[in-house]
Amino acid sequence: MSTLHVDIRGRAGSFEIETAFQAGAGVTALFGPSGAGKSTLLKMIAGTARPQSGRIVAGGRTLFNSATGTNLPPEKRGIGFVFQDARLFPHLSVRRNLTYARWAGRRPASRAFDEVVALLGLEDRLDAAPATLSGGERQRVAIGRALLADPALLLMDEPLSSLDKARRNEILPYLEAIRTEAGIPILYVSHETSEVARLADTVVLIENGRVSDSGPAAAILARLGLAAGGDPDEAGVILEGRITDVDPAYHTAVIALDDDRIELTGNGFAPGMTVRLRVRAGDVAIANAPHDGLSIRNQLPAIVEEIRRDGAFATVALGFGGQQLLARITAKSADALGLQPGSRVHALLKAVSVEMARIESPRGGLTSASSPR
């Protein structure tokens, strides 16, 4: 029902695009190098560029079908947009900006105004003028405006790239809430691995106008982590686990990852919640044996699966309990430790170096999330 099907061929100048994928409710990240064709693909889905052939169907409605000559204009496609910059109407209040699309399109109000305002934390800003908002607030209004138009599909083209890190972290929990609450496919273009890791359910990897890989975010990003040509410093993995214990006095939570347990810092978590962790390769160290007397409390027994060397560094894939970690260490350390595929080691993981996002509450609905660091 609320699924997007894309199967198109087309061109922009001499650039050719031939792309097929499906996206269900939740966030599907379109990820790939600059010039891979992500923006061109979004334009074809939005209806501002026309494919040569193929089909685009969203929420059961055919938006484009070359076989039948169907090509709905952009305003009839039921698509919400969020761009890098918020593009608010400067002369209208936040409230009028939020209701503009609904009013202009005379659409029925099936998504309650108050609900969207609360979801985005805009209750106190409704009468404000856009010029008085922070960058993060402006972007929240842009997201609210897109949602209130009651779209069958939301396209987000690098929505956080104009914000600094603090503002990004402020807005990510809202995007996490929307991912669950909106119940529609969200196509999310970003270059930031950490954003994709935190938000995406599915990743579609676009290279040279084609889908080169797609699947669950954790699996694709793990594969990318070892891919040549990627930024090794951004390499990392996503782990999913369940909170088993919290210690409010120390603001820590214990997370079960299959048979292993790790302890991280964080507030707002409760036993039973499922969480998603992004662990950067640069934040994982390797020891031959468990160590006492370290400030690092997480020491996971693991087996070396693969070692990739690049110059002074080595990226080591470590298997533990059916999951994988990447560790980025110096090539000299890898040799000093005598690491080989099959070596039994301990992966050392600092509690503060992991980003933790709540993806599901014990009742099954997401209300908010936090990102302790």
Ligand X SMILES: Nc1ncnc2c1ncn2[C@@H]1O[C@H](COP(=O)(O)OP(=O)(O)OP(=O)(O)O)[C@@H](O)[C@H]1O
Residues near ligand X (CB under 6 A): 12-13, 15, 32, 34-40
The kind and range of the H/E element at 192 are: none
Residue among 4 and 345 whose Cβ is closer to ligand X: 4
**35 vs 341, which CB is nearer to ligand X?**
35
CB of 186 to ligand X, least distance (A): 17
CB of residue 157 vs ligand X: minimum separation in angstroms? 8
Task: Give the integer Cα–Cα distance in Å for 185 and 286.
Answer: 39
List of E strands, 133-183: 153-157
Burial class (CB in 10 A: 0-12, 13-18, 19+), 33: middle
Return the number of the residue (2 or 39) whose C-beta is nearest ligand X. 39
In the bound state, the residue with its beta carbon closest to ligand X is 13
DSSP 282: G
Nearer to ligand X, 32 or 241 (CB): 32
Nearest residue (CB) to ligand X, 35 versus 215? 35
CB of 39 to ligand X, least distance (A): 3
Query: Are the CB atoms for 302 and 347 separated by under 8 Å?
Result: yes
> Tokens for 362?
């014990």
DSSP string, 298-365: EEEEEEEEEEEEETTEEEEEEEETTEEEEEEEEHHHHHHTT--TT-EEEEEE-GGGEEEEEEE-TTS-
- Sign of the CA dihedral with 42 first, then 47, 51, and 57 last: positive
In the complex, minimum distance from the CB of residue 184 to ligand X, in angstroms, rounded to a whole number: 22
Q: Specify the residue, 207 or 263, whose C-beta has the smaller distance to ligand X.
A: 207
The CB-of-206 to ligand X minimum distance in angstroms stands at 6
CB 278 → ligand X: shortest distance, Å?
21
Q: What dihedral do alpha carbons 264, 267, 272, 276 form, nearest 10°?
A: -60
